[in-house]
Every structure is written in structure tokens, then in C-alpha cells.
Amino acid sequence: MNAPVPLRSMTGYGDAERTTPWGRLRVEIRTVNHRFLNLQLRTPGGMERLQGVIEEALRSRLARGHATVHVSVERASEVADGGVPIDLERARGYRDALRAMQNELGVGGSIDVGTLAAFRDVFQPPARGSDLPDVDPALLGEVVGEAADAVVAMREAEGARLADDLEGRLALMESAIEKIRVRAPERLIAERDRLRQAIADLLEGSQVPDEERIAREVAHLAERWDIHEELTRFDAHLALFRETLRGGSREGVGKRFGFISQEILREANTIGSKANDAEIARHVVTLKEEIERLREQLENVE
């Protein structure tokens, strides 16, 4: 028997990084709601050829949502011990240019750290381009996978809170349905008594009300007002919703929940149209309120 799959929201964040001989590789992933899995990849120039590796790592872990993925590569020469980015190539260029000026112009003086520090653009990361380090695809896939796993963990934690809220909505709907189920036959008895009294008032005691005719009228109303099938289907939809909630699916359950909630709303509307009773109508309003809250929460379920 397959283990239940935790419910997941579509909101999450995760990051991972790896220090390599050529520098530091970092991946950040943010996800929000979306009907499908929509990937937006932001990679350094020259890494476009590896986007397939990134997508594969994500699609194996995420089913739905808009995911923004930011990949950065910080080469070892870009960061000083204190964490300040420096461009060593640019600094060497300034040093060589100053020495050339001394030789050509016969200018004396020493070229030291203070001299080079005066050039502010030395303390900036060098421009990335064709000289981007050759990133190992397997390593990139691992780092993206670690970041995506962190996203999944956050989505499952949020999903657990969503599941608790959805269970509460189901319980409130079941309570309203049970009250409707109890009230449904009572309204027919009340209508029978009302008809009998109305006829008696019209006859003013001159005749005995025709009980057979009253019974036929009540039977006709019972057929028109019958909501037994709607209540049965409503119960079945709630049972299916709860089964899906507790069982889950690695492909995501948000779309299935959307379909079930539409059917639940359909039955609630039909019950309301057949109510012809103030008390049942109040319970139907409660049902629709909870269904609306349910559907709002489902917007964020993977």
C-alpha cells in the first residue's frame, strides 16, 4: 500500500550553494501560485546550454506553480577574504598601465595598494561572459535539486496548515448537511399541517377537510422538494475530497480538488433551489460560505 503524500502549497523558497575549485555556485528558487508548472530561469551568460539540467531537476520535484530560479557563479578570484568582491584582472591592468606611464614619461613614485585602491571599480565583480567557468552539469543538477528539496519542504509545511484548515471546512459543511437532512422531512409535515389548517379555515367547520386530497398534495410537494439524491451526492463528494486530502498524489491534487469543489457547489445550489424553507435556506448559505472559503484555500494547493 502506497504511503500518503503530504499536501503541498505552491508557495515556497529554497536555496543551496556549493564551493568548487573555480568558485561558488549558488541557486535560489521562489515559487508562487500558477495553474501549471511555469519555470523562469535566470542564469549567467554562457550557461544557457545547462538550462535543461535545471528544468529536469525541477520537474522531478514540482508539479505546479510559477518557479523563479536564480543561478549565480562567483569565481574564486572575485571574493577577498573579507567577502568584498574584487576584480584582480582590472587591478593588474591599472598596475601595468601606471608602470607604462612611468617608463614613457619618466615619472617617479611607487605603485602600492593605496594607489590601486583609489580606482573604485577594482572593488566590483568582474564582468561575466565567455570566460564563465565550465560548470559541471551533474554538480549543477545536485545544487538545483537541494534548493528544490528545500522548496518542497516549505511547501509541505504550509500544506499541513492548509490541510488542517480544509478539514475544518469539511466538518462545518457536514454539520450543515446533517441539519438539512433532519429538517427536510419536517418541512413536509409542517406544510401538511398548514394546508389542513388553511382548508379548515376556508370551510369554517361546515365540512371535514379531504385528507386524501391533502395527502396527494403533500406527496406532490415531496416529489418537487426531494433532495435525497443531492444529499447523497454531497456526502460522496465530501468523502472523495477527504480521501484525496489524506491520500495525496505526487503529481499534485490541486486540479482534482478544483473539480470536486465545483461538484460540491453544484449540489449546494440545487439543494438551495429546492429548499422552500427558511431554515434549510440558512444552512445552504452556511454551506456556500464554507465552499467559497474552501475554494480560496485551494488556489494555493499544488
302 residues of the chain, pLDDT tens digit each: 466 789 999 999 999 999 887 778 999 999 999 989 999 999 887 788 899 999 999 999 999 999 999 998 876 655 545 556 677 778 888 888 888 888 888 888 888 888 888 887 777 665 554 455 678 899 999 999 999 999 999 999 999 999 999 999 999 999 999 999 988 877 766 666 666 665 555 656 555 556 666 666 656 665 666 788 899 999 999 999 999 998 888 788 999 999 999 999 999 999 998 887 889 999 999 999 999 999 999 999 99
Domain total of the chain: 3
In angstroms, rounded to a whole number, what is the distance separating the alpha carbons of residues 289 and 105? 85
Query: Quick one: 166 and 258 in the same domain?
Result: yes
Q: Are 67 and 31 in contact (CB under 8 A)?
A: yes
Q: Residue 108 domain-assigned?
A: yes
Q: Residue 82 domain-assigned?
A: no
Q: Residue 62 domain-assigned?
A: yes
Q: How far is CA 118 from the centre of its chain?
A: 50
Helices 278-298 and 254-273: angle between axes, nearest 10 degrees:
170
Query: Quick one: 116 and 139 in the same domain?
Result: no
Range of the domain at 43: 12-76+135-155
Residue among 143, 141, 146 nearest 53 (CA): 141
Q: How far is CA 200 from the centre of its chain?
A: 62
Query: Quick one: 257 and 183 in the same domain?
Result: yes
Query: Quick one: 171 and 260 in the same domain?
Result: yes
Q: Residue 4 domain-assigned?
A: no
Which residues is 67 bridged to in the sheet? 31, 39
Query: Quick one: 167 and 70 in the same domain?
Result: no
Q: Are 254 and 298 in contact (CB under 8 A)?
A: yes
Query: Quick one: 105 and 25 in the same domain?
Result: no
**DSSP letter string over 255-288?**
HHHHHHHHHHHHHHHHHHHT--SHHHHHHHHHHH
Query: Quick one: 112 and 190 in the same domain?
Result: no
